[in-house]
């Protein structure tokens, strides 16, 4: 429907996230604080609701982006209707007891602990005692052969990174893992809290749900029966099985903090200050239509088309009619996420072609391009050199396109052009020179917008980066109606009883957290 003629449908609000990848240094503080908060329990030692990958690389779990293998996300059937790639209801029912598209522990990694007791209890001997690794699954001494961040800093890349599913197509044949051609960036990942979540649709028990109030996707521990269809359906592999309780667990977007108006733990502790949290208003009646957009490369625009301008009087009226409170509308107008995603259009979704309409977006990194400029003998500070690189260098542009634009290099190139023009303009201004406003105009920015975007990307303070309105007391009953107190479980007495997984449980003793 063309805008202007249409009436706005049912308006919903979601707390969404943007990450500015140029700022990520791969310190893993987000992963560690997330783990300490949510998955420092028996049964989920291998699970990282938030992890940071080095790209190019195959990721965690291994090659999770290969949907030919893992069958995650949605696809269109012959009549153009959305269907889960893991199959329709019948196929999923038939594979209920033996789901072939499920990652096994080796695809994540075998979690270990160390014999720390030996450090203080070893008998006197000629050598310093050491703590050797021991599997927390079998209790036996273990060789560490893979991990949640095995490829950090391109470690092992010559052997493994060729298997990165994003390195397909003829351009990828030119990617050689050689010192002079190195490009690297870090990709922090968490649950995308999608508008069209495949995990929710795949759940046979109705245990997974997307909260009406803020769009957070959660697992009801009382209703989960451990079928694990969500694990297959999630193309980002961000639903995990707690193998002590047999139930699914996932990133909660730290909803107890969000409800209190606080940022998620990963955002709060981000050292590089690269995360942004804010509201996006969207037209719930148009989600299905957007997800079923025929051409994968149109999905980005289709998803942006679902987002609503919080300053548009028609949207405000419709939002009020849909019951969105005034302070949320005010927060939506101050949302840094809306600015980056919809106003300046510098943020892009991760793998829009999965058709789940993800709600954690990324400002693509300019640094691999700048590195490529230097390698090619150019000057990073000369915008013409960078523009030329964005136009001509297929690597790493095609790589970024396969991550963020379903393979369309023009869109990701356009964003990088915008960042380059902005960088060049603000550099000139900060040196007391006249900035080149013509170059800014060519990427669709004026001087005031450039300063605003620069402030948001470069120097935004805590209150500018995290605009999270607190939940309303009158919604408290609805917010907690489905929750069994905690969306994750300990091994002791899981809600609604445990689910037997038919897995060997040879663990020695339950280890509550790290030693």
Partner 1 sequence: MITSYEWSGSETGGRRYSPFVINVEHKKPWHTLTGRQHFFVQHDWMAELGEQLPVYRPPLNVIGHYGDEHLHEDGRAEVTVRYLTPHSKWSIHSNYQDNKYMLDLSRGGPAIWMSTADAERIGVRDNEWVEAYNRNGVVAARAVVTHRMPEGTVYMYHAQDRTVNVPRTEIGGRRGGMHNSLTRLLLKPTHLAGGHAQLTYAFNYYGPTGNQRDEVTVIRRRSQRVEY
Residues that bind partner 1 (CB under 8 A): 25-28, 31-32, 35-36, 111-114, 119, 126-133, 144-145, 147-150, 152-160, 177-179, 181-182, 184, 514-515
- From residue 121, alpha-carbon distances to 114, 128, 132, 384 in Å are 14, 12, 13, 65
**Spatial separation of the C-alpha atoms in residues 513 and 119, rounded to whole Å:** 19
- Strands of the sheet containing 11-20, edge to edge, are 307-308, 275-283, 11-20, 360-363, 348-349
Q: Show Cβ contacts of residue 454 under 8 Å, excluding neighbours closer than 6 positions.
A: 422, 426
Specify the residue, 477 or 515, whose C-beta has the smaller distance to partner 1: 515
Closest C-alpha among 177, 180, 187, 175 to residue 157 = 177
What is the closest distance, in whole angstroms, from the C-beta atom of residue 127 to partner 1 in the complex?
4
DSSP-based three-state secondary structure for 406: coil
What is the closest distance, in whole angstroms, from the C-beta atom of residue 34 to partner 1 in the complex?
10
**Spatial separation of the C-alpha atoms in residues 222 and 199, rounded to whole Å:** 17
Specify the residue, 282 or 399, whose C-beta has the smaller distance to partner 1: 399
What is the closest distance, in whole angstroms, from the C-beta atom of residue 182 to partner 1 in the complex?
5
What is the closest distance, in whole angstroms, from the C-beta atom of residue 213 to partner 1 in the complex?
32
**Spatial separation of the C-alpha atoms in residues 153 and 160, rounded to whole Å:** 13
What is the closest distance, in whole angstroms, from the C-beta atom of residue 272 to partner 1 in the complex?
11
**Spatial separation of the C-alpha atoms in residues 264 and 253, rounded to whole Å:** 6
Residues 29 and 271 sit within 8 Å (Cβ to Cβ): yes
What is the closest distance, in whole angstroms, from the C-beta atom of residue 150 to partner 1 in the complex?
8
- From residue 377, alpha-carbon distances to 153, 180, 235 in Å are 24, 12, 39
Phi-psi bin for 144: left (phi > 0), alpha (psi -120 to 50), beta? beta
What is the closest distance, in whole angstroms, from the C-beta atom of residue 418 to partner 1 in the complex?
29
What is the closest distance, in whole angstroms, from the C-beta atom of residue 268 to partner 1 in the complex?
16
**Spatial separation of the C-alpha atoms in residues 95 and 101, rounded to whole Å:** 10
Specify the residue, 160 or 275, whose C-beta has the smaller distance to partner 1: 160
Neighbouring CB atoms inside 10 A of 190's CB total 27
Residues 10 and 285 sit within 8 Å (Cβ to Cβ): yes
Specify the residue, 111 or 197, whose C-beta has the smaller distance to partner 1: 111
Neighbouring CB atoms inside 10 A of 319's CB total 24
Specify the residue, 158 or 510, whose C-beta has the smaller distance to partner 1: 158
Specify the residue, 80 or 125, whose C-beta has the smaller distance to partner 1: 125
What is the closest distance, in whole angstroms, from the C-beta atom of residue 348 to partner 1 in the complex?
26
Residues 20 and 274 sit within 8 Å (Cβ to Cβ): yes
Neighbouring CB atoms inside 10 A of 206's CB total 11
What is the closest distance, in whole angstroms, from the C-beta atom of residue 143 to partner 1 in the complex?
9
Specify the residue, 113 or 205, whose C-beta has the smaller distance to partner 1: 113
Q: Which two tokens stand for residue 151?
A: 């490829």
Specify the residue, 146 or 209, whose C-beta has the smaller distance to partner 1: 146
Strand pairing category for 185-189 and 133-135: unpaired
Half-sphere exposure for 179 (CA within 13 Å, toward CB): 0
Specify the residue, 271 or 458, whose C-beta has the smaller distance to partner 1: 271
Q: Which two tokens stand for residue 358?
A: 């993800």
Specify the residue, 150 or 307, whose C-beta has the smaller distance to partner 1: 150
What is the closest distance, in whole angstroms, from the C-beta atom of residue 242 to partner 1 in the complex?
17
Specify the residue, 48 or 404, whose C-beta has the smaller distance to partner 1: 48
Which residue matches tokens 């396109």? 401
- Range 331-352 burial, b when 16+ CB lie within 10 A, else e: bbbebbbbbbbbbbbbbbbbbb
Specify the residue, 468 or 488, whose C-beta has the smaller distance to partner 1: 488
Specify the residue, 82 or 131, whose C-beta has the smaller distance to partner 1: 131
Q: Which two tokens stand for residue 139?
A: 């209790």
What is the closest distance, in whole angstroms, from the C-beta atom of residue 162 to partner 1 in the complex?
11
**Spatial separation of the C-alpha atoms in residues 493 and 192, rounded to whole Å:** 29
What is the closest distance, in whole angstroms, from the C-beta atom of residue 191 to partner 1 in the complex?
19
**Spatial separation of the C-alpha atoms in residues 273 and 19, rounded to whole Å:** 9
């Amino acid at each position: 429907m063309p805008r202007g003629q249409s009436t706005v449908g049912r308006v919903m609000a979601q707390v969404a996230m943007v990450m500015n990848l140029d700022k990520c240094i791969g310190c893993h503080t987000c992963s560690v604080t997330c783990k300490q908060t949510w998955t420092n329990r028996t049964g989920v030692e291998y699970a990282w609701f938030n992890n940071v990958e080095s790209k190019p690389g195959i990721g965690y779990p291994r090659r999770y982006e290969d949907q030919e293998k893992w069958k995650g996300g949605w696809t269109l059937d012959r009549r153009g209707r959305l269907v889960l790639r893991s199959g329709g209801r019948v196929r999923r029912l038939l594979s209920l007891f033996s789901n072939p598209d499920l990652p096994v522990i080796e695809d994540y990694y075998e979690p270990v602990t160390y014999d720390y007791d030996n450090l203080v209890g070893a008998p006197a001997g000629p050598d310093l005692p050491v703590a050797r690794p021991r599997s927390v699954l079998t209790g036996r001494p273990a060789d560490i052969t893979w991990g949640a961040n095995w490829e950090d800093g391109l470690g092992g890349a010559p052997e493994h990174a060729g298997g990165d599913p994003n390195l397909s197509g003829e351009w990828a044949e030119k990617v050689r893992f050689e010192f002079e051609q190195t490009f690297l960036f870090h990709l922090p990942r968490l649950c995308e809290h999608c508008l069209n979540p495949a995990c929710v649709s795949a759940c046979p028990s109705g245990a997974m749900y997307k909260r009406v109030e803020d769009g957070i996707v959660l697992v009801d521990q009382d209703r989960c029966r451990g079928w694990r269809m969500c694990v297959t359906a999630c193309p980002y592999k961000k639903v995990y099985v707690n193998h002590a309780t047999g139930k699914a667990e996932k990133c909660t977007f730290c909803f107890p903090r969000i409800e209190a108006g606080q940022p998620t733990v990963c955002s709060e502790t981000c050292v590089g200050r690269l995360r942004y949290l804010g509201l996006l208003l969207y037209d719930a009646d148009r989600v299905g239509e957007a997800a079923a957009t025929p051409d994968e490369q149109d999905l980005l625009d289709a998803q942006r088309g679902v987002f609503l301008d919080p300053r548009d009087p028609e949207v405000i009226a419709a939002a009020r009619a849909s019951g969105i409170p005034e302070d949320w509308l005010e927060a939506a107008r101050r949302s840094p996420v809306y600015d980056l995603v919809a106003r300046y259009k510098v943020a892009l979704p991760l793998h829009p072609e999965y058709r789940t309409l993800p709600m954690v977006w990324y400002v693509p990194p300019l640094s691999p391009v700048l590195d490529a400029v230097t390698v090619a003998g150019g000057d990073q500070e000369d915008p013409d050199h960078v523009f030329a690189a964005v136009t001509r260098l297929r690597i790493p542009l095609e790589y970024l396109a396969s991550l963020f634009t379903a393979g369309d290099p023009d869109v990701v190139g356009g964003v990088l052009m915008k960042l380059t023009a902005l960088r060049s303009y603000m550099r000139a201004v900060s040196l007391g020179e006249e900035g080149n406003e013509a170059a800014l105009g060519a990427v669709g920015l004026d001087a005031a917008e450039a300063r605003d975007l620069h402030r948001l990307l470069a120097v935004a303070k805590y209150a500018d980066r995290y605009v999270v309105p607190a939940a309303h007391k009158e919604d408290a009953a609805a917010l907690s109606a489905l929750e069994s107190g905690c969306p994750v479980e300990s091994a002791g007495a899981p809600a609604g009883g445990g689910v037997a997984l038919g897995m060997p449980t040879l663990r020695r003793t339950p280890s509550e957290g790290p030693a």
